[in-house]
C-alpha cells in the first residue's frame, strides 16, 4: 500500500471535512482536482498547519532524506516513522492527505485485478502523512515531498492487501495537525487511533487504472459486488 490514490473534489470539500476553524491559505486552483488515478511522484493536495493557518498545497508524493541513496518512497510504515533515523527530519512535519480512496491489486489467474477502497459513507479519508515542504512562503526545494503513513490492514481488508493508510476521524486529524499536540500523543494517534476496517468498502474496478496516464470517473466505478 498504496500505489495509487484518488483526489477528485474541490480542495474546499476536503477542508470542510477536516473542520479546522480559522484561516485557510490555498495555492490550489478553485476547481475539482480531478485526480482519479494519482501515482507516486505526482503533485497531490496536502493539508498542513502553520501559524494557526491551514495551508493547502500541491506537494510531491514521495520523500527521502537528503542523505539517503535509495529511491524516494511514497509510504512509511507506522511502526518506524516516529523513531527511525530515516524519518527524523520528516516526523515533526505533520500533514493530512485527503483522499477519496485508494487502489490495491489482487493477483488472479488472468493477471492483477485492481480494487478501489473508500469510506462506506462516501466521505473523504484523512490520511496521516509526514514530510518536508516550504514554510513561511519559501520556495520549494529539491527534497520536498511527503509519505503517507501506513499500518497493518487487519480484518477483511487483508484479503486485498496487508497494508493500508492510517486514516483519522476529523477530530483526531485536527488534533494531530495541532503543533501543540505532544509528539508522544501524535505517535499514539497514528499507532492506535486509525479508522477501523469496518469504515471502508472495496470493489473491483477497471484494469485501465493500471496505467497512471488514464484518468476519469470510470476508473472508480464498481465492476462487481461491493464488500459486505
Q: Is residue 92 part of a domain?
A: yes
Q: Is residue 79 part of a domain?
A: yes
Q: Is residue 227 part of a domain?
A: no
Q: With bands split at pLDDT 50, 70 and 90, how would you rate the model's confidence at 111?
A: confident
Q: How many domains does the chain have?
A: 1
pLDDT in tens, 71-94: 999 999 999 999 999 999 999 999
Residue 157 pLDDT more than 60? no
| Catalytic one of 2, 15, 125, 127 | 2
Which pLDDT does position 160 carry in this prediction? 59
CATH of the domain at 164: 3.90.1680.10
Q: Is residue 143 part of a domain?
A: yes
Q: Identify whether 2 is a catalytic site residue.
A: yes
Find cell 495551508 and name the residue: 55
Which pLDDT does position 51 carry in this prediction? 86
Which pLDDT does position 1 carry in this prediction? 58
Q: Is residue 128 part of a domain?
A: yes
Q: Is residue 228 part of a domain?
A: no
Q: Tell me 187's DSSP state.
A: H
Measured between alpha carbons, how far apart are the two ends of the chain, in Å?
21
Dist. CA 209–CA 216, nearest whole Å = 9
Q: Is residue 150 part of a domain?
A: yes
Q: Is residue 185 part of a domain?
A: yes
| Exposure of 182 in the CB half-sphere (CA atoms within 13 A) | 3
- Kind and range of the H or E element at 13? helix 11-18
Percent of the chain with pLDDT over 70: 91
Which pLDDT does position 153 carry in this prediction? 65
Residue 158 pLDDT more than 60? no
Which pLDDT does position 156 carry in this prediction? 52
Collect all residues with Cβ–Cβ distance below 8 Å to 119 and sequence separation of at least 6.
Answer: 101, 125, 167, 195, 199, 200, 201
| Domain enclosing residue 169, as ranges | 4-220
19 versus 161: which is more confidently predicted? 19
| Catalytic one of 62, 104, 195, 201 | 104
Which pLDDT does position 137 carry in this prediction? 65
Collect all residues with Cβ–Cβ distance below 8 Å to 44 and sequence separation of at least 6.
Answer: 5, 7, 33, 35, 38, 58, 59, 61, 97
Q: With bands split at pLDDT 50, 70 and 90, how would you rate the model's confidence at 162?
A: low
Collect all residues with Cβ–Cβ distance below 8 Å to 186 and sequence separation of at least 6.
Answer: 82, 94, 176
Amino acid at each position: 500500500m498504496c500505489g495509487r490514490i484518488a483526489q477528485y473534489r474541490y480542495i474546499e470539500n476536503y477542508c470542510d471535512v477536516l473542520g479546522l476553524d480559522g484561516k485557510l491559505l490555498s495555492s490550489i486552483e478553485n476547481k475539482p482536482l480531478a485526480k482519479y488515478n494519482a501515482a507516486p511522484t505526482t503533485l497531490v493536495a496536502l493539508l498542513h498547519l502553520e501559524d494557526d493557518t491551514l495551508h493547502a498545497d500541491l506537494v510531491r508524493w514521495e520523500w527521502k532524506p537528503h542523505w539517503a541513496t535509495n529511491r524516494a518512497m511514497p509510504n512509511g510504515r507506522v511502526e518506524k516513522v516516529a523513531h527511525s533515523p530515516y524519518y527524523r527530519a520528516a516526523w515533526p512535519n505533520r500533514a493530512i492527505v485527503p483522499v477519496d480512496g485508494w487502489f490495491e491489486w489482487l493477483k488472479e489467474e488472468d493477471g492483477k485485478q485492481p480494487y478501489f477502497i473508500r469510506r462506506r459513507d462516501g466521505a473523504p479519508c484523512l490520511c496521516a502523512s509526514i514530510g518536508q515542504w516550504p514554510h513561511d512562503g519559501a520556495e520549494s526545494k529539491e527534497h520536498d515531498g511527503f509519505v503517507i503513513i501506513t499500518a497493518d490492514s487487519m480484518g477483511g481488508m487483508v484479503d486485498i492487501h496487508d497494508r493500508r493508510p492510517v486514516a483519522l476521524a476529523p477530530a483526531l486529524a485536527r488534533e494531530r495537525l495541532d503543533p501543540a499536540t505532544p509528539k508522544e500523543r501524535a505517535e499514539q494517534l497514528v499507532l492506535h487511533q486509525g479508522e477501523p476496517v469496518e469504515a471502508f468498502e472495496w470493489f473491483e474496478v477497471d484494469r485501465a487504472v493500471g496505467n497512471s496516464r488514464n484518468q476519469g470517473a470510470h476508473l472508480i466505478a464498481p465492476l462487481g459486488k461491493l464488500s459486505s
